[in-house]
A = this chain, B = another copy of it.
Amino acid sequence: MPLKPIDAADAAPEVRAVFDDIKATRNVPDVNNFWKMVAHHPETLKRTWESLKEVMAPGALDPLVKEMIFVAVSVTNGCAYCIRSHEAAARKAGMTDAQFGELMAVIGMANETNRLANGYQVEIDESLK
């Protein structure tokens, strides 16, 4: 009963155009299931891809750092698909095992101290205002 992924062969022209741009930009033979599902709403597909392409491009932060930030958000939210796919993207961008290990350690500590700050109801320091 859930929706099924839309393959390029069955896609409307405006969907195929986005798929083609993803494949060309990322130099991959096919797009991930994420895009094949979001393709059920072509406007969301186009807007999401163009936003992501702009946001994840090299800039003041390099692509590996951006992918690790993406992983940090996905792990905090518990999105299994996102963790899997962005861990893969981060490794493709050069993330080593040691970097992955430290990334997980920081994510874990941040989630812990966030709750200590909540639970102790810490007020913002004058020096931080």
Contacts and interface: CB of A to CB of B under 8 A. Distances in A.
A33 B34 CA distance: 28
Interface in A90-129: 96-125, 128-129
A80 B51 CA distance: 26
A73 to B, nearest CB: 4
Chain A contact residues, majority secondary structure: helix
Nearest to A86: B110
This protein's copies in its complex:
6
Contacts of A72: 69, 72-73, 76
Contact of A80 (B44, B103, B108, B124): B124
A106 B103 CA distance: 16
Contacts of A115: 75-76, 104, 107-108, 111
Interface residues of A, number: 78
A100 B41 CA distance: 9
Contacts of A106: 55-56, 61, 66, 69-70, 73
A33 B123 CA distance: 7
A75 B119 contact: yes
Contacts of A79: 78, 114, 117-118
